[in-house]
Amino acid sequence: MNKDRKKGLKGRIRFDGGKSLPVTSWFPKVFHEIFFMEREARVILCVVLFFLSLFILTLGEGSFRRTRNNLTVGVFSGSYWDVQNGNTYKIVDDAIKAYEKKYPNIKVTYESGVIKSDYTEWLNERIMSGSMPDVVFILGQDFSSLAEMGALKNLNGLVNKDRSFDKDAYFSTAWKAGEYEGKQYALPYECAPQLMFVNKTILDKEGIRMPEAGWNWSDFYRICRNVTTTGESADEKQYGVTGYDWNCAFNANGVDFFEHGNEYVDFSVPGVTESLELIEKLNELNHGYKVSEADFSEGNVVFQPMPFSQYRAYKSQELHIKKYSGFEWDCLTMPAGPNGDNVSELDTLCIGMSAGTNMQAEAWSFMKLISSDPDIQKEILEYSDGLSVVRDVTLSDEASHMIVGSSKGTFNMMMLEKATDNSVVAPRFRGCSEVKEQVDLAVRSILEGEANIETEQIIWNREINNYLQTLN
């Protein structure tokens, strides 16, 4: 290397003509040479500089994303199932610990102390202020509104592209719980099918055998009729069922009443007629008395529909002494209608992603971990009262021991599997709660009136569909 070159490297740049300038004074000369370049050369240089700048900005953004390592989660305290539970954040904390071990550059945080009854309002406030957490637990009542307002990320692309993800690992109905209008907006986290609680003490007293798993409406009504007594004293009062409403009957009789969402319903089909006739016959057994949940708790009613989470919670020794301790009880699948099966609703707690998150990959990884990792999902059976949404976890031998144990009752894992497999998702569409109120009004009016049920169905079918038109 010659002296001039060595000297130029130390602080001088040589331009055309052989004249060298100090580094501190070469900038004006550079721009002078650019200015007098041929037009094509200037254009090419500008294009090169543009893409170089874009590349630098991209590197900078990537660097920012790597430093922005806080993944936020929206979660509520207490049990989703509204039963006493002292392990509020246990599963979430363990999932975070496992996630941060796998991704040490990511910190997962959540705001503690938000109780379930305040969670909807808390989440709406975060959405309105632009600070929605990257990942959120979604209450069933909030799912459709969050999806419709665009607050949740459509997960279809992530699901389809991720070869490591297997949606078939979940119970099929639990998976459908995260779907809205054909798009997947959430992953299932925890679930519980509706079951029929049975007061075995009354059955034993009346000499009635516990129904089989595949029982039907005929068995159901016969038992209710045979046990109902309405004597003068409180000791003589005994009833068949409480809490069995039109929704239970529709599901069991194959009536997909909200099949078309808020477009239209068919309230006049035979399956609805049969459902209303059953409820009318059950009500007539009570001679005008409104049987309540309190009557069941006091041991005076044979049947009451409840979520499986109640079974798990109150079968534990700690809570059993506080409720349903005055009689022996067990569970069954819901009774099947003449045109249906032993079907009930599956209540599912889901987890979704903010549509505005800039931590999409990180959020997706966390959602997969907490909703499908066998070790994390197993903790639901240990620290919560629902079921794991992962089929193999819930139906494992270990789970069977935890759920049924050494119980000598009728309820078993085959019943639980059937109840979960045969379950349906609660209808969710814009205005769903308002339409259900209209159906409540219709059913109450029909059952309390003297007119023919089928005639009243036609009238109310028109009324309900007219109401639907106001929502569209």
Query: What's the rounded Cα separation, in Å, for the pair 332 and 340?
Result: 16
Alpha-helical regions (H) of 214-305? 217-227, 246-252, 270-284, 293-297
Mean pLDDT of 61-86: 75
Mean pLDDT across 235-242: 88
Q: What is the 3-state secondary structure (H, E, C) of 168-224?
A: HHECHHHHHCCEECCEECEEEEEEEEEEEEEEHHHHHHHCCCCCCCCCEHHHHHHHH
Give the pLDDT score at 224.
98
Read off the pLDDT of each residue in 222-241 and give the average, rounded to a whole number.
86
Shortest CA distance to 446 belongs to which of 434, 431, 464?
A: 464
List pLDDT tens digits, range 199-222: 999 999 999 999 998 999 999 999
Burial string for 12-45 (b: 16+ CB within 10 Å, else e) reads beeeeeeeebeeeeeeeeeeeeeeeeeeeeeeee
Domain boundaries in the chain?
3-66, 68-192+346-421, 193-257+266-345
The whole-number pLDDT of residue 407 equals: 60
Other CB atoms within 10 A of residue 230 CB: 13
Based on the number of CB atoms within 10 Å of its own CB, is 400 exposed (0-12), middle (13-18) or buried (19 or more)? middle
**153 vs 28, 132, 246, 275, CA distance in Å?**
51, 12, 34, 39
- Dihedral-angle region of residue 424 (phi above 0 means left; psi in -120 to 50 means alpha; beta otherwise): beta
pLDDT at 225: 97
pLDDT at 414: 92
d(CA 97, CA 437): 44
Residue type, 355: A
3-state secondary structure of 465: helix
Rounded Cα–Cα distance for residues 202 and 239 (Å): 10
Q: Could you tell me the CA-to-CA distances from 306 to 143, 300, 310, 386 in Å, in that order?
A: 22, 16, 7, 12
**Whether pLDDT at 7 is above 70:** no
The mean per-residue pLDDT over the stretch 445-458 comes to: 94
Q: Same CATH fold, 193-257+266-345 and 68-192+346-421? A: yes
CATH number of 68-192+346-421: 3.40.190.10
Structure-token pair, residue 99? 């996630």
Furthest-apart CA pair in the chain: how many Å? Answer: 120
**pLDDT tens readout for residues 269-297:** 999 999 999 999 999 999 989 999 999 99
Q: Is the pLDDT of residue 56 over 90?
A: no
The token pair at 57 is 């900005």
Tally the C-alpha atoms within 13 A of residue 308's C-alpha that lie toward its C-beta. 32
In the chain, the percentage of residues whose pLDDT exceeds 70 is: 82
pLDDT digits (tens, 9 = 90+) for 358-381: 999 999 999 999 999 999 999 999
Q: What is the Rg, in whole angstroms, of the alpha carbon atoms belonging to the chain?
A: 32
Distance (Å, rounded) from C-alpha 311 to C-alpha 330? 8
- Under a CB-based contact definition with an 8 Å cutoff, are residues 242 and 439 in contact? no
* CA atoms of 105 and 92, how far apart (whole Å): 19
The dihedral through the CA atoms of 142, 197, 417, 421 has a sign that is: negative
What is the Cα–Cα distance from 11 to 181, expressed in whole angstroms?
A: 67
CATH number of 193-257+266-345: 3.40.190.10
pLDDT tens column, 424-441: 999 888 788 889 999 999
- Cα torsion 77, 153, 161, 163 to 10°: value is 10
**pLDDT, average across residues 73-77:** 97
pLDDT band at 411 (very low <50, low <70, confident <90, very high): confident
What contacts 60, CB < 8 A, 6 or more positions away? none
Both structure tokens of 87: 């392990």
Q: What pLDDT is stored for residue 431 in this prediction?
A: 82
Residue 105 binned pLDDT confidence (cut-offs 50, 70, 90):
very high
308 phi, psi to nearest 5 deg: -55, -30
**Is there a contact between 357 and 153 (Cβ–Cβ < 8 Å)?**
yes
- Phi (first) and psi of residue 291, to 5 degrees: -70, 135
* Beta-bridge partner residues of 183: 180
**Does residue 29 register a pLDDT over 80?**
no
